[in-house]
Each structure stands twice: as structure tokens, then as C-alpha cells.
Amino acid sequence: MRLAMAAAVSGLALMAGWAAAGETPSQADAKAQALLEQMTQDEKIGLLHGPMLALVQRSKRPDGIVIGAGYIAGVPRLGIPALTETDASLGVSNLNNQRPGDVATALPSGLAVASSWDPEVAYRGGAMIGAEARAKGFNVMLAGGVNLVRDPRGGRNFEYLGEDPLLAGRLVGRSIAGVQSNHIVATIKHFAMNDQETGRNVLSVTMAEAPMRESDLLAFQIGIETGDPGSVMCGYNRVNGVYACENPFLLNDVLRRDWGFKGWVMSDWGAVHSTEALVHGLDQQSGDQLDLKKYFSTSLEEEIAQGRIPQVAVDTAVRRIVRTLFARGVIDNPAIPGDSIDYDAHAAVAQATAEAGMVLLRNERNVLPLAATAKRIAVIGGHADIGVLSGGGSSQVTPVGGFALVVKRPGAGASSFASRSYGPSSPLAALRAARSDATVEFNDGHDPVAAAALAHDADVAIVFVEKWATEAEDAKDLALEDGQDALIAAVAAANSRTIVVLETGNAVSMPWRDQVQGILAAWFPGQRGGEAIARVLTGAVNPSGRLPITFPASEKQLPNPMLPGGDAQLADEETRAVYGIQAGLKPFDVSYPEGSDVGYRWFAKTGARPLYAFGYGLSYTRFRYDGLNVADGDTLRVRFTVTNTGDREGSDVPQLYVSRNGRTKRLIGWDKPTLKPGESREVTVTADPRVIGDFDAKAQRWVVPAGDYRVEVGASAEDVALAGTAHLGRQALKP
């Protein structure tokens, strides 16, 4: 598999994508205009807003409509279907069981997908969840989260795809393409700079245009080029003082003028603050009862009547929506509830995704895979006897088989934002099935002394630890909770052959790292996470995941050692009256000192040594890189050879980074070849000029300065196996 990181999708490929999805652009334009001319004003405005049906009284809900995150009425007499919208990137979210008994296949977390470094893994997962959404009657899936991981305490990081714009953009684009292969619309979200949960409804990110273009916005741009989403969802936050959902710079200048986006912009639920947002680039008010006003219905009618909002703004928004429904095949291929779902086949997709994304972080003395001589195996903690942990919030999926365990916070009710849930895939049961020749005993880890006693008498001890993450709440630090660090230390003191399995939604600190021999990052592993973990531990699967985020050694290494907003005051009535009912804190500004140097770039800039570097991950075999060939000229092209020098088949992720004087290193490409022992493969990468260049805000273009560029090939952002120099001529590209 080769990856050519081109600056844009070719016209031929784009046309092929349109043909597969629905109408061609010109056909979609013509059909949308024809319908627009037949619509009444009430029908037009009806397409611009809708409620969250789960919050509507059952007697007032429309008949025959599947309940999800959002609903837009449609225009039945003209064949425009109602828009039935469901969360999210990790599967069909069941919205707190508003549809009792309904289940869906739970994909592993976004960070697990990103850890695969495999665009086709992302595509297959997207195609699977999109197929389930369609079978349940949904035609819009609120998937496609690509906000960069700027801080490892971020509550929604587990949904996203890491800290690098090229990796995140490429993978989210393929996931979106997979979802939309089912003739439904996918979003890309949350546009833009929505990188933390603390104060998300009131904060304002202060950042110049160039660093935004080179980081978060570039991830969105690559994702849109790769996946062609039908809709963009704008975020809750403000950017340079202006709400993202009424920010003309983001929505009109960047998204539409510069990137040529033809779809529609929908708000996040509760993220609209004015009717003027329609003029500033927003097309649709989602979950309109969550905002202070019905800005795009009652208020809009008044504003049009008084001449403050032009009719053309309404017509433009409606045209974008209808055009997209034709282009994505929604109108010609209606989603009708009732199609059968092959949950076994879909579980296999989820399991393969988990296996591809697990990252082996430590393997001293080859403690893994588990040796045949290990006849007594102690499994400790993490509810491994019951299932695997999942993240909370709007992405929460009720898995096939139902939850094995739900731990509710006091007073939390049934909210997925405050209920820690476990999918019914037990690592303990899977290990016992895989190692029927061994005695596998379990201790829940609540008593470190008892756990250590079990470990002492075992050939190997496996400690499962967890750190839950959820939308609407950031973690206060990187530490494991509830005495889990002490548990690991006690077990490791009793048995030198201790392995730690991490079920987390972020990086975590590891004060016990040097006391254990093995560490496996399993993330939130999804529908068959237990089986996937067992297959990696026993060697049925050779781990090939690589970190899509940097694991810092401590919070002190972060650009903001204190999470922005951590000291903000609670919102008062005046704040809520201005910012909306979801405002929890008084407004505050956020400065990200790293600018475009997110994650590994910040560590390279400051010289700080992380706990584990971006791109890091081990295998049960070994790889060698040689034969580096770097081409000079206007385009950077790099070739080299990867060889499996070990004794078993495995997949590697060789990575290419480029730096020049005055700029930190940047990922420009990678590959993921699967090689048999002794097999070699040539890898070729062509760099996207935007990744190696700078954005000139004054000239409004990308510029690749002429000069020498250092090229590094390695197994992580810190590893340098091969190095060379390329001399590139100056290039200037449109934004």
C-alpha cells in the first residue's frame, strides 16, 4: 500500500466519487435549483432548522420517524425527505436508549483508528457504521470528528484522530467516504479550534491565521478533500472573539471561498447565537430548542419581514442543502428502516480495527507474546472479567449484547455523559479461550495485597487499568485514578513478569513504567475489544499500531501546564442569558502557545523528551530501513526500502519527517507494508506542499521557500534511521 499525499483530489477521481455517490455536480445543481423554484417560503425555512426529537413529547413527534440526534422536516410533496440525523463517529449512537432494545456495533475509539495509521481501516469502519445508520432509517450521520489533540486531558480526544493534521485529515476523510458510500450524508466536525471541553460554550481561541491554517484548519482541509463530506458541523466555541457558527472568516472565507466547499453547514446542538449567522455562513440550526431562540424559524421570519435578512440568504442555504442531498444520493436512494444488519460481520470489522490500532509500548525480555510455558496467568483489575470500557457522551454506542456494566455517578440519571459503560467483551474470557492449556485466574484489583498474592504465584501477571473520558468534561490530570498506580506497583513487586493493558481515551502518566515488562495501549477497543486484546497478547496478532499522539512525561511539558479555563468562574444568570443554557463557566480566552507546532512539533521545538513519542510502537518482529533516495526539484519525492529482518510476519509504519531552518519537523507521509520474514518493499512518498510550506496570511497563499530540507525516515517522530537532504525550489499555491 502506497500513500501519495497530493495537494488536491484529481478531477477524474472526484468525478468518479460523485458518480458512485449520486448526481454529478452539474446535475445536482440543476435539480436543486428546480426544486427551489417550486418551494414555498415556509418549506424553505422548514429546511433550515429542526429539533432534537428525543426532547419532543412523544405525542408531538412525527409518525414513522426514527429518533436520533436531530430532525429536519423535509418537503414530502417535492420528494425531499426528512433529514434523520444520528451520532456519531464510533457507531450509531442510541441516545440514552430512546429506542429501547436497539443496539449497534461499537467501533473502537477514534484514537484506536488513528493508531492503525491505515486509511483503509478508517474507510471500512466508516462504511460499516454508515450501513447500520442507513438500515436503521438515518440519512445523516454526525461522524467525522477531526479536532486536533492539543492537550492530552481533552475529554473528547478519544473520538478524534490525533495531533497531526496530515494523519488526522487523511484518516477522517476515508472514514467519511466510507459512511457516505451508503448514500447518506456525513459531517466533518467541529469546525474549528474546538479542541477542549472545559468552557467549550464560552471560550474564545485567540490565534493568528497562519498557525490555524497550518494546523487545525489543514486537518479539516485535507479531510474535506479526501472524503468530500456533505456537511460541516461548526463548533460551540468562539474563534478570535466570534462564534464558530457565525464566523464569516471560517465559514465564508476559508471553507467556501478558499476550499470551494459546496455542502451545507449545520450547527452543533445549542451552538447558534443569532439570526445573522445565516448571512455569515451557517445554513441550518440543529436541535433548535437547545438555543436561546428559534433563530432560523420564528426570528428569521421576523428579520426577513423587516428587511434585515435578505431572501437570497435563505435561498442560498436551502439550495446548498438540497443540492447535497442529490449529490450524495439521499433523495434517489431513500433510507428506509428495516434493512437487516449482519452484526457478526460488523463485529469482525470492529475487532479488526481494534487489532490494527493497539500499540505495544513496552516489551522487555520479550514478555509478549505470552509464552507457551506460561501455564499460570493472573488477570487483575479493569473489570476484565466483565467487558471493556467505552468513552461517554454523544458518541456512546449501546453495543450488540447491551452493556455488561454501567457505573453511574450519583445523580447522573441515564446520561451517557456521566455513566461509565462497559461493552460485553471480556478479556478474561477471551484469554481463557485462547489459552485453554493454561490456568487463567482473576482478581478484581480492589485489594492490592490480594492481587499481589495472586500475581506472586503466577508465571505472568496482566493488570488491566482504565481512565474514562467523556464529552463535556476534561480530565484534571494524566494520572490513573482510584489507586491503580499503586495496584500496578504492588503486582510488579510480586511478579517481575507484569504486563499492563491500558484502556484509556488519552495519554496517561506511568510512574510504574520501569517496574513492568510489558505495556499495551488498547484504548477503548469496541465491540470485540476483549477478543482483540487476547489475540494481541497471545501472538495471534502481531501488533502494528503506532501512537497518533505524544505521551508526555508530565503536565509540565505541555504548552499549557494548567488546562485553559481550569480557573474560570462559574457562569451566572447574566452569562447564561447571553451565551445560552449550556454555559457552565464565565467567558474566557484561550491561547495555545504552540500555535501550529502541535504535539510532537512542540516537543521538538522545546527539546522536552516525552514518555512515548508520536508514531512510536513496537512489533513482535524487526524492520530495517535502507536505500534512501531523495529527489530535488519543485516536488519532494522520497523512496526507501523496508525489510522485515525478524522471524515472523508483521506490518510496519515507516514515517517520513521534514524540517528546515526555523521550522520544526513535520510528518509528510508514511506507509504500512505487511512483510513476511526476509521480505522487502520499496516505499514512495510524495509530499503535500502545504505540509512542508508556510501559510502567508498577507498574500493569502501557501509558500514553500526555496532551500535545503532535511528528510528523516524512522519509526517515530524521535527515531531517525535514515536521513538526507533535498533542495527544493520555491512554490506558491492557492489556499
Q: Residue 79 is part of a domain; what is its CATH number?
A: 3.20.20.300
Neighbours of 1 (CB within 10 A): 12
Assess whether pLDDT exceeds 80 at residue 686. Answer: yes
- Nearest of 188, 184, 270 to residue 232 by alpha carbon: 188
Read off the pLDDT of each residue in 39-60 and give the average, rounded to a whole number: 95
> Is residue 6 domain-resident?
no
Alpha-carbon torsion angle 725, 729, 733, 735, nearest 10: 40
Global confidence as pTM: 0.96
> Is residue 47 domain-resident?
yes
DSSP helix/strand/coil, 728: strand
Of 538, 555, 587, the position where a domain reaches its end is: 538
Assess whether pLDDT exceeds 80 at residue 19. Answer: no
> Is residue 590 domain-resident?
no
Least confidently predicted of 3-7, 306-310, 600-604: 3-7
Assess whether pLDDT exceeds 70 at residue 2. Answer: no
Chain centroid to CA 527: 17
Average pLDDT of the chain, as a whole number: 94
How many helices and strands (H and E) does the chain possess?
A: 19, 31
Q: How confident is the model at residue 97 (pLDDT cuts 50, 70, 90)?
A: low
* Higher pLDDT pick, 6 / 469: 469
The whole-number pLDDT of residue 11 equals 34
CA distance 251 to 547: 32
CA distance 458 to 375: 8
> Is residue 555 domain-resident?
no
Read off the pLDDT of each residue in 663-691 and give the average, rounded to a whole number: 97
The whole-number pLDDT of residue 382 equals 98
> Is residue 553 domain-resident?
no
pLDDT, tens only, 602-634: 999 999 999 999 999 999 999 999 999 999 888
Based on the domain organization, do 323 and 349 belong to the same domain?
no
Based on the domain organization, do 313 and 408 belong to the same domain?
no
> Is residue 251 domain-resident?
yes
Assess whether pLDDT exceeds 60 at residue 500. Answer: yes
User: Residues 272, 295: contact at Cβ < 8 Å?
Assistant: yes
Read off the pLDDT of each residue in 372-399 and give the average, rounded to a whole number: 97
CA distance 47 to 629: 55
The whole-number pLDDT of residue 102 equals 87
The whole-number pLDDT of residue 411 equals 59
Read off the pLDDT of each residue in 356-364 and give the average, rounded to a whole number: 98
Read off the pLDDT of each residue in 147-171 and give the average, rounded to a whole number: 98
- Nearest of 320, 311, 313, 295 to residue 33 by alpha carbon: 320
Instruction: Classify residue 91 as left (phi > 0), alpha (psi -120 to 50) or beta.
Output: left
Burial of 220 (0-12, 13-18, 19+ CB in 10 A): buried
Of 272, 293, 327, the position where a domain reaches its end is: 327
Based on the domain organization, do 163 and 236 belong to the same domain?
yes
DSSP class per residue in 651-687: E---EEEEEETTEEEEEEEE---EE-TT-EEEEEEE-
> Is residue 238 domain-resident?
yes
CA distance 401 to 105: 9
Of 510, 538, 566, the position where a domain reaches its end is: 538
The whole-number pLDDT of residue 581 equals 78
The whole-number pLDDT of residue 9 equals 30
Q: How confident is the model at residue 17 (pLDDT cuts 50, 70, 90)?
A: very low
The whole-number pLDDT of residue 601 equals 98
Residue 219: its H or E element:
helix 216-227
Based on the domain organization, do 316 and 349 belong to the same domain?
no
* Higher pLDDT pick, 240 / 580: 240
Assess whether pLDDT exceeds 50 at residue 158. Answer: yes
CA distances 597 to 474, 534, 664, Å, are 22, 37, 7
Assess whether pLDDT exceeds 80 at residue 372. Answer: yes
Based on the domain organization, do 31 and 175 belong to the same domain?
yes
Peptide bond into 350 cis (omega under 30): no
Assess whether pLDDT exceeds 70 at residue 5. Answer: no
Question: Could you say which DSSP state residue 306 is in?
Answer: T
Q: Please report, for the domain that includes residue 661, its CATH number.
A: 2.60.40.10
pLDDT, tens only, 440-489: 999 999 999 999 999 999 999 999 999 999 999 999 999 999 999 999 99
Based on the domain organization, do 239 and 292 belong to the same domain?
yes
Q: Please report, for the domain that includes residue 515, its CATH number.
A: 3.40.50.1700
* Higher pLDDT pick, 410 / 436: 436
Based on the domain organization, do 317 and 350 belong to the same domain?
no
CA distances 202 to 184, 276, 412, 571, Å, are 32, 19, 23, 9
CA distance 14 to 7: 13
Assess whether pLDDT exceeds 50 at residue 3. Answer: no
Based on the domain organization, do 298 and 369 belong to the same domain?
no
Based on the domain organization, do 490 and 371 belong to the same domain?
yes
676 lies in which domain range?
A: 623-733
Alpha-carbon torsion angle 514, 518, 521, 526, nearest 10: -150
The whole-number pLDDT of residue 339 equals 80
Assess whether pLDDT exceeds 50 at residue 196. Answer: yes
Read off the pLDDT of each residue in 703-716 and give the average, rounded to a whole number: 97
Based on the domain organization, do 349 and 321 belong to the same domain?
no
The whole-number pLDDT of residue 412 equals 56
Based on the domain organization, do 35 and 84 belong to the same domain?
yes
> Is residue 322 domain-resident?
yes
- Cell numbers 426544486 correspond to 35
User: Residues 242, 185: contact at Cβ < 8 Å?
Assistant: no
pLDDT, tens only, 241-295: 999 999 999 999 999 999 999 999 999 999 999 999 999 999 999 999 999 999 9
Q: How confident is the model at residue 414 (pLDDT cuts 50, 70, 90)?
A: low
Number of domains making up the chain: 3
Based on the domain organization, do 319 and 423 belong to the same domain?
no
pLDDT, tens only, 321-336: 999 999 999 999 999 9
